[in-house]
Structure 1
Amino acid sequence: MSDVWGESLPILYGRSVTTGELVHVDDAPNGKACGCVCPDPGCGQPLIARNNGKKKIHHFAHIGGTCAWSAEYLLAELALEVIRERGRVWFPELAYEAPGTHLPEKVSEGMELPVCCAEKIEVEGRKAPAIALEIRTSRGNARYVFVPELVHVLDGEQIASLRKECRGIVRIGLRSLMRSMKTLEGKHYDREELAVRIQSKEVMEELLSGRRQRHLEWAWNAKAKELGDRAWALYAQRKKEERQKADAEKERKAVIDQARREKVRLAAAKRAEKERAQLAQAAKAAAEREAAREAWEEAHPVQGRSIRDEARRQKALSDMDRAREIMAPIVDDVRRPARGLGGKRWYRCEKCGKVGPADEFAIGDVSGVWNHGICLECNWR
């Protein structure tokens, strides 16, 4: 991590070989005579105190190479020392993700609580300790774990292992703190100065007293998990009820539509049955009329033959021919038209005697006489 210098962060504390306590570099003899080793017991390398220079910050250096966990180990011990001295610690605001909106639902404000006892604990898969706290509550003591994070952040397996023995896990965000300090200083920041400040008791006190609240955050909390699970369960139940209600409404509409279609089908079937009955009755009446006609024709063969001939003739005539036959006796005066079907005027030609509608006749002044009784064929001749 280039922005926090990763494992190259210089350390300002070493562990005294004689007392086992943390010793600041300015309080130790210079060089190999400092009598200190790496704070990380997994490393344990002898340290060299470089506290005689005037240009570079005073710090401890490993004889055999940089240690990956030394900074976080000493910061965990520094946090434990601060907590024991203060007897109180700040807990960040508690919230959970609201179902549906994915926005934080606040459970409680951030607050400072008294600490009954504090101790270092090992975290599976992590080479720096965490701090376990006992907090007195109305329902008895509750155990919480504070984990300093700088180079190495908590992963899912480490959180799962800690969840078994506490009610909440709080991250001490040293990584985000260094980033904000670096941003505040600007592009000309002094990295050595930041290294000194991040390892000071004053900064750790600011973190654990809530003056830098945004760098303390919950990695996991049993109460928030319980409330969140309950909210999600209620949300899932509500969604299930809404789906069931929607399905029931859909089914109800389907039943109504089916009933409506069945009603329409029955009405159509009833109409079809009625039409079939009417057709059957009409066919029966037509058959009776035909039988009566045939009987009458047998009784009156001459009249029956003439009637049949007239029916065949009428069937062979066009609509206009039938109209002419109908209008012929009505238009009896060549000078006076008659009204026919549809309001049309019908005339009789005074030359050929043809009967027809107005559009077949020459209407106007013919040889100085107002004449409506000459058809177009006669007028063109």
Structure 2
Amino acid sequence: MSDVWGESLPILYGRSVATGELVHVDDAPNGKACGCVCPDPGCGQPLIARNNGKKKIHHFAHIGGTCAWSAEYLLAELTLEVIKERGHVWFPELSYEAPGTHRLEIISKGMELPVSCAKKIEAEGRKAPVIAVEVRTSRGCVRYVFVPELAHVLSGEQIASLGQECRGIVRIDLRGLMRSMKALEGKHYDREELAVRIQSKEVMEELLSGGRQRHLSWAWNVKAKELSDQAWKLYEQRKEEERQKADAEKERRAAIDQARREKACLAAAKRAEEERAQLAQAAKAAAEMEAAREAWEEAHPVQGRAIRDEARRQKSLSSMDRAREIMAPIVDDARKPAKDLGGKRWYRCEKCGKVGPADEFAIGDVGSIWNHGVCLECV
């Protein structure tokens, strides 16, 4: 494989057929006479000890080909052994992501706690065991699970299954550790040397004592989940309250707008009613005036006939004729210039006596007499 982990990782420990204990490759006879098999019981292949070389690292090799889970099974065994020897284990910092802000809320700092019991347990879907530890607290013994991850990371189903048996699952990120080692060594890193170091008890002790804290992390924790669920519940309640408040404000504004529209409609209806009343009153007044006029004309037939004749004559006149009649007495007053409302000069023709505006006259103010002129027709 192109990377530094996986099925091709050489293993440094085998399981003795005689004792069932793990045996380091340097402590076993060379070759097939080593008397060891793969530490993974699911594999169980005989191993060959290659511990006579001076250029390559000493390691065990499978006779029938590589095993996908041998390295992780071996690392689980080392984890258990280190925890039993130390009697303490480091628990990483516990936190959860605050909803809405994505900020980490710290529940507890990383700490080392005493372990009263440690053992291997099987995890569904994994062919390497995980390590269950019992930690004594004021509420009694609490179980946590440590999972060494190398080629095979925990799946969501495995986390859910293990979560039913413990209060928390801690990942031992051996893949990330090997990446860090590789990056530290640079492009000329020794792959075999990394394989030796990752399977050493010293590195595992350093991990489990908090020396490499960023490679220990919580995959799942009851308390973190409870606090996270509670935070999410409060967040959703707050969002719901904000939505309800926004809806209420929207409804309030809609009610105000509706009230304004209704008020405007009422005002418009009131104005229309007033206008109708005024029109009715004006019609009534006009009808009364017409009735009074008709009564007066009946009482004074001669004057009434003259008034009707004048009204008919005025109605038959054009607007210009009416204007000429209105301006005639004004034009005849020679004391000042005759002007209409628009400011235009008017004259009376000396020859034909016609009254008209200045644009109908060729000459105005004849003989220095105001409003006397000669029209275009007479010229």
Measured after TM superposition, the shift of residue 80 of structure 1 is 0.9
Give the Cα–Cα distance (whole angstroms) in 2 for the partners of residues 331 and 315 of structure 1: 23
Give the Cα–Cα distance (whole angstroms) in 2 for the partners of residues 176 and 155 of structure 1: 17
Give the Cα–Cα distance (whole angstroms) in 2 for the partners of residues 373 and 333 of structure 1: 10
Give the Cα–Cα distance (whole angstroms) in 2 for the partners of residues 364 and 27 of structure 1: 143
Measured after TM superposition, the shift of residue 97 of structure 1 is 1.4
Aligned to 1:374: 373
* Residue 201 (str. 1) matches residue 207 (str. 2): no
Give the Cα–Cα distance (whole angstroms) in 2 for the partners of residues 199 and 361 of structure 1: 126
Measured after TM superposition, the shift of residue 377 of structure 1 is 1.5
Measured after TM superposition, the shift of residue 209 of structure 1 is 1.2
* Residue 73 (str. 1) matches residue 73 (str. 2): yes
Distance verdict in 2 for CA 1:111–1:359, change over 3 Å: farther
* Residue 17 (str. 1) matches residue 17 (str. 2): yes
Aligned to 1:103: 103
TM-score, normalisation: structure 1 = 0.93
Letter in 1 for 2:376: E
Moved more, 271-280 or 103-112: 103-112
**Structure 2 segments unaligned to the other structure (5+ residues):** none
Deviations 1:304-343 (A, max 9, x none): 3332232223223343432321121122145741344355
Give the Cα–Cα distance (whole angstroms) in 2 for the partners of residues 53 and 150 of structure 1: 27
* Residue 4 (str. 1) matches residue 4 (str. 2): yes
Q: Percent identity?
A: 85
Aligned to 1:297: 297
Aligned to 2:348: 348
Q: Is this contact kept in 1: 2:25–2:58, CA < 8 A?
A: yes
Letter in 1 for 2:11: I
Aligned to 2:83: 83
Counterpart secondary structure, 2:158: helix
Letter in 2 for 1:236: E
Measured after TM superposition, the shift of residue 72 of structure 1 is 0.2
After TM superposition, list the pairs within 5 Å mapping 1:133-172 onto structure 2. Answer: 133-172=133-172
Give the Cα–Cα distance (whole angstroms) in 2 for the partners of residues 359 and 335 of structure 1: 22
Q: Is this contact kept in 1: 2:90–2:209, CA < 8 A?
A: yes
Q: Is this contact kept in 1: 2:364–2:374, CA < 8 A?
A: no
Aligned to 1:314: 314
RMSD: 2.2
Give the Cα–Cα distance (whole angstroms) in 2 for the partners of residues 139 and 24 of structure 1: 41
Distance verdict in 2 for CA 1:265–1:33, change over 3 Å: same
Distance verdict in 2 for CA 1:363–1:298, change over 3 Å: same
After TM superposition, list the pairs within 5 Å mapping 1:318-333 onto structure 2. Answer: 318-333=318-333
Counterpart secondary structure, 1:309: helix
**How many pairs were matched up?**
379
Letter in 1 for 2:289: R
* Residue 214 (str. 1) matches residue 214 (str. 2): yes
* Residue 182 (str. 1) matches residue 182 (str. 2): yes
Counterpart secondary structure, 2:66: coil
Give the Cα–Cα distance (whole angstroms) in 2 for the partners of residues 113 and 316 of structure 1: 119
Give the Cα–Cα distance (whole angstroms) in 1 for the partners of residues 49 and 114 of structure 2: 37
Runs of 4+ in structure 1 off by over 4 angstroms are 342-345, 357-366, 368-372
Aligned to 1:113: 113
Deviations 1:253-310 (A, max 9, x none): 1222211111111111111111111111111121222222223333333333332232
Counterpart secondary structure, 2:331: coil
Moved more, 7-16 or 101-110: 101-110
Aligned to 2:41: 41
Q: Is this contact kept in 1: 2:132–2:146, CA < 8 A?
A: yes
Deviations 1:94-134 (A, max 9, x none): 11111112232221221221211111111111110001111
Aligned to 1:260: 260
Measured after TM superposition, the shift of residue 56 of structure 1 is 1.2
Aligned to 2:250: 250
Give the Cα–Cα distance (whole angstroms) in 2 for the partners of residues 83 and 313 of structure 1: 128
Measured after TM superposition, the shift of residue 38 of structure 1 is 0.6
Aligned to 1:277: 277
TM-score, normalisation: structure 2 = 0.93
Q: Is this contact kept in 2: 1:118–1:134, CA < 8 A?
A: yes
Measured after TM superposition, the shift of residue 226 of structure 1 is 0.4
Letter in 2 for 1:23: V
Deviations 1:141-186 (A, max 9, x none): 2111000000111101111111011110011001111112112222
